[in-house]
Structure 1
Amino acid sequence: MCVFFLCLCTAQLVEIMLQFQTLGVVSDVNVNIHGAS
């Protein structure tokens, strides 16, 4: 049970980190586009 919970928490953390990474990339691209124009 504890191992399953640990795996679940790790999966959630990875998912959140991936979401933040994509958000950061998108915002960077938007800034670059606005800055270039």
Structure 2
Amino acid sequence: QGGKDVYDNLQALHRHCHDVKTATDNSYNQPKSDTEINVMW
């Protein structure tokens, strides 16, 4: 995800849009909770 820190890869985003994009981009790194996985006990 993401890319190199070069000029051609930069995006200008509003602060709120940046926060939303960052949260979405990093969501694949977050462990899923038991309710999201639907674990059967």
Q: Do the two structures share a fold, i.e. TM-score over 0.5?
A: no
With the shorter chain as reference, the TM-score category is: 0.3 to 0.5
Which is greater in Rg?
1
Larger helix percent: 1
TM-score, reference length from structure 2: 0.35
